[in-house]
Amino acid sequence: MTPYRWHKSSHCQEGDACVHISTSPTAVHLTDNDPPHTILTVTPAAFTALLDLLKSSAVR
């Protein structure tokens, strides 16, 4: 198994309600646990599309 380098969200509050992200050239891995129990893996294009959607929705 490939070791992931997890980075905690800068918007994380106290406690366990945090998003952790690990990236590679071909994948973006997300989890909300430290250590991760469940990992969601998506393509960089899918992750970028999600971020774009969230940013456009936040403006409204």
> What distance in Å separates the CA atoms of residue 22 and residue 3, rounded to the nearest whole number?
10
DSSP class of residue 53 equals: H
pLDDT one-digit tens code per residue, 14-30: 666 788 899 999 999 99
User: How far from 5 is each of 23, 29, 43, 44, 54, CA to CA, in Å?
Assistant: 8, 10, 17, 16, 24
pLDDT of residue 12: 77
State the CB neighbour count (10 A cutoff) for residue 33: 12
pTM equals 0.74
Q: Would you list the domain boundaries of the chain? A: 7-59
pLDDT of residue 49: 95
